[in-house]
Amino acid sequence: MSSVPLVLGIETSCDETGVGIVRGHTLLGESLASSVDEHARFGGVVPEVASRAHLEAMVPTMQRALDQAGVTLADIDAIAVTAGPGLAGALLVGVAAAKGYALAAEKPIYGVNHLAAHVAVDTLEHGPLPEPAIALLVSGGHSSLLLVEDLARGVQPLGATIDDAAGEAFDKVARLLGLPFPGGPWIDKAAREGDGASITFPRGLTGPRDQAEHRFDFSFSGLKTAVARWVEARERDGERVPVNDVAASFQEAVCDVLTAKAIAACRDRGVDTLVIGGGVAANSRLRVLAEERAAKYGIAVRVPRPKLCTDNGAMVAALGSHLVAAGVAPSRLDLPADSAMPLTSVVA
């Protein structure tokens, strides 16, 4: 028997039901069920639909992850579950399930922060995270720049979006270009055939006046509107919309701002590790541009493989494993699901 604890993680904060099993920094088993297809025709996640899908997927997803790892619930040493932030009803399903499993198997439970889990998942690919690090978390629900001094104790927010999340902007622009939901991967694909320098779209919160108040904040709503106006103007004139060029130019604007601010945060805090997570971290241009710009300042960029960037159970297990190793006390069995869980709290 290994002395390194076996930690199971459960994720249900949005539309993915995920279970992962981790020992140390090694992912032993994982399973994911997504309700994304059920939300597609609405162009965004419908909370009630997501909650019901979690309820139906929870038990089979758990069983598949255990089978893949070749273990049973009795072998697990601790259970971690996303306690927030996220959709209240969706979180509740995972938290209730985790409590049931913890109670039945008499295991400690850790109600953890979803954003901290997006940071922790990188350890499954690249090993222990050098601290301090700057984390850029970009997904459909969040866009944040964080200072990570000690992941087990909490992370410090440096900036966040003041309107749309980065992934939300990808999804909305994809919709107006007639691309399917979720739009990120489709924009990424279309952009490869387009010219990112063909249209100059606005870079939100990068003006001289934003340096004082919004240096590390993001804004994507003006960009989304600019793309909409540009497309409308072509359509009004009966011109063909160059979808690939619009996708590439929009993507360039987002990636330019994200990487410029992330690198500026690293330099400002004297940090030489940048970890990128969340669904948008799967973006091919974001990865290339981040590495290109970071290299100039000797900053190492860590981006986990795309499957680990989007919501999954392994990220929760990775954070749980980190917390257990750091000797952090578990949560109480009556821990609440907290849809607005603050970044400064890693464990509920």
Tokens encoding 73: 């619930």
Q: Is 139 in the site for ligand KG4 (CB under 6 A)?
A: yes
Contact 290, 277 (CB under 8 A): no
3-state secondary structure of 108: coil
Which of Zn ion, ligand KG4, none does residue 183 bind (CB under 5 to 8 Å by kind)?
ligand KG4
Q: Is 141 in the site for ligand KG4 (CB under 6 A)?
A: yes
Q: Is 24 in the site for ligand KG4 (CB under 6 A)?
A: no
Nearest partner of 116 among 97, 142, 77, 87, judged by Cα:
142
Please say which residue, 139 or 249, places its beta carbon nearer to Zn ion.
139
Size of the site for ligand KG4 (CB under 6 A): 19
3-state secondary structure of 49: helix
CB of 340 to ligand KG4, least distance (A): 15
Q: Is 171 in the site for Zn ion (CB under 5 A)?
A: no
Question: Cα separation of 300 and 294, whole Å?
Answer: 7
How many angstroms separate the Cα of 276 from the Cα of each of 64, 117, 134, 145, 304? 28, 12, 9, 9, 8
By the 10 Å C-beta count (0-12 exposed, 13-18 middle, 19+ buried), 311 is classed as buried
Contact 27, 314 (CB under 8 A): yes
Q: Is 280 in the site for ligand KG4 (CB under 6 A)?
A: yes
Question: Cα separation of 64 and 193, whole Å?
Answer: 38
Q: Is 310 in the site for ligand KG4 (CB under 6 A)?
A: yes
Q: Is 311 in the site for ligand KG4 (CB under 6 A)?
A: yes
Contact 30, 312 (CB under 8 A): yes
Which of ligand KG4, Zn ion, none does residue 164 bind (CB under 5 to 8 Å by kind)?
none
Please say which residue, 217 or 311, places its beta carbon nearer to Zn ion.
311
3-state secondary structure of 301: strand
Please say which residue, 22 or 309, places its beta carbon nearer to Zn ion.
309
CB of 245 to Zn ion, least distance (A): 30
By the 10 Å C-beta count (0-12 exposed, 13-18 middle, 19+ buried), 282 is classed as buried
Among 17, 139, 321, 331, binds Zn ion (CB under 5 A): 139
Please say which residue, 217 or 311, places its beta carbon nearer to ligand KG4.
311
Q: Is 311 in the site for Zn ion (CB under 5 A)?
A: yes
Instruction: Show the binding pattern over residues 156-185: x = contacts ligand KG4 (CB under 6 A), - = does not.
Output: -----------x--xx----------xxxx
CB of 265 to ligand KG4, least distance (A): 20
Binding interface with Zn ion (CB under 5 A)? 139, 311
Residues that bind ligand KG4 (CB under 6 A): 14, 139-141, 167, 170-171, 182-185, 188, 278-280, 282-283, 310-311
